[in-house]
Structure 1
Amino acid sequence: MKPILFAAVLTLFAAPAWAAKDCAELKSEIDAKIQSHGVAKYTLEIVDTAAEAESKVVGSCAGGQKKIVYRRG
């Protein structure tokens, strides 16, 4: 049980660091992960956090000011 607790705490501390990541860099990393799972047709878009999106949010960047949304197809 301790390794799970440690991982959870580590994730909480790392979350702000992920949000501060450069949007283009994060989008590229997410794109590589999606492609490695064999998904062929999709789009990733960087939008303002306040923007309404019917797509799935897959990342946050620019200090939480932007989000990356995923649309399949």
Structure 2
Amino acid sequence: MKTTIVTLSLALAAGPVFATPCDEVKAKIAEKVEKKGVKDYTIEAVAPDAVGDKRVVGTCEGGKKKLVYTREAAKK
């Protein structure tokens, strides 16, 4: 029991060390979006309280930021 508590405490303390940078997550999401043929879009990292009505497609930096997707009108 004591070992489990120590292990869990260490895992929680190390959490921020394993936080994925936003650029890495954005690149992975962009790759998936572009495979579907979408050309005009943006993915941006914002604070969780700044999401508003935008579509959340991921999180980064250990949940400190959310990645939001916006599809833009086709350019003519």
**Same fold per superposition (TM over 0.5):** yes
Cα displacement string for residues 14-66 of structure 1 (whole angstroms, at most 9, x for unaligned residues): xx8xx932111000100010000000111111101121322100001111110
Aligned length: 56
Q: Which residue is equivalent to 1:65?
A: 64
Q: Which residue is equivalent to 1:3?
A: none
Q: Which residue is equivalent to 2:19?
A: 20
Partner amino acid, structure 1, of 2:68? V
Q: Which residue is equivalent to 1:53?
A: 52
| Larger CA Rg, structure 1 vs 2 | 2
Q: TM-score, normalised by structure 1?
A: 0.69
Runs of 4 or more above 6 Å deviation: none
Q: TM-score, normalised by structure 2?
A: 0.66
Q: Which residue is equivalent to 1:4?
A: none
Partner amino acid, structure 2, of 1:36? K
CA-based RMSD: 1.7
Percent identity, aligned pairs only, is 43
2:56 partner SS: strand
1:38 partner SS: coil
Partner amino acid, structure 2, of 1:70? Y
